[in-house]
């Protein structure tokens, strides 16, 4: 979550202060701009789990365990493809890329790779990115940003 917010340029850097309420189970728990601080500041409720963090197998707040089990599920990939939060952040990222890289498409592709993957495009990646952006669709950069936010290389640390 923090990586997605940071890359999109919307992570609030404010340190310290009160924790961020994630809402109440009856009203629904939302991940919205007011709560876009580091996840360390999110309240941990036993009765209401955070919608984004719960997808990535967070610790169980009801148990005290020295080590957690690991598992692989498709929830993270499905979240990256379908969650409204990721689509919103992709839109913010597209605006950031346009503002920082300008209108030149190759500069946008290179900058997007640097932001999301901390490296320049490799091999065919520049050509693939350019072909996506040259397709002429008005939302092409937004969709390309969404694609980049969903890459395993973006989400997981090796």
Residue 91 located in a structural domain: yes
3-state class of 20 per DSSP? strand
Region 17-36 average pLDDT? 57
Residue 19 located in a structural domain: no
Give the structural domain span for 91.
77-155
Residue 23 has pLDDT above 60, yes or no: no
Cβ proximity of 101 and 108 under 8 Å: yes
Residue 47 located in a structural domain: no
Write out pLDDT tens, residues 37-94: 666 666 666 655 655 555 655 556 566 665 656 666 676 667 677 878 889 889 999 9
Number of domains observed in the structure of the chain: 1
Q: Kindly list the distances between the CA atom of residue 7 and the CA atoms of 65, 66, 110, 137, 139, in Å, as whole numbers in the listed order.
A: 32, 32, 14, 23, 19
Residue 44 located in a structural domain: no
Residue 86 located in a structural domain: yes
Residue 144 located in a structural domain: yes
Write out pLDDT tens, residues 6-17: 888 877 777 776
Q: What is the pLDDT of residue 71?
A: 60
- DSSP secondary structure string for all residues of 57-122: -PPPTT---SS------SHHHHHHHH-HHHHHHHHHHHHHHHHHH-S-HHHHHHHHHHHHHSS---
Residue 93 located in a structural domain: yes
Residue 128 located in a structural domain: yes
Residue 34 has pLDDT above 70, yes or no: no
Q: What is the pLDDT of residue 97?
A: 96
């Amino acid at each position: 979550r923090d990586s997605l917010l940071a890359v999109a340029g919307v992570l609030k850097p404010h340190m310290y202060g009160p924790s961020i309420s994630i809402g109440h189970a009856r009203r629904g728990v939302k991940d919205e701009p007011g709560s876009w601080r580091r996840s360390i500041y999110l309240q941990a409720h036993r009765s209401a789990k955070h919608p984004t963090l719960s997808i990535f197998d967070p610790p169980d707040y009801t148990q005290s365990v020295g080590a957690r089990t690991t598992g692989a599920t498709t929830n993270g990939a499905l979240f990256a493809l379908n969650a409204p939060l990721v689509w919103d952040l992709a839109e913010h990222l597209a605006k950031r890329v346009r503002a920082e890289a300008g209108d030149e498409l190759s500069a946008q592709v290179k900058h997007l790779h640097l932001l999301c993957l901390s490296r320049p495009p490799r091999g065919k990646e520049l050509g693939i990115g350019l072909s996506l952006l040259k397709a002429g669709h008005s939302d092409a950069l937004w969709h390309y940003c969404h694609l980049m936010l969903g890459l395993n290389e973006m989400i997981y640390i090796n």
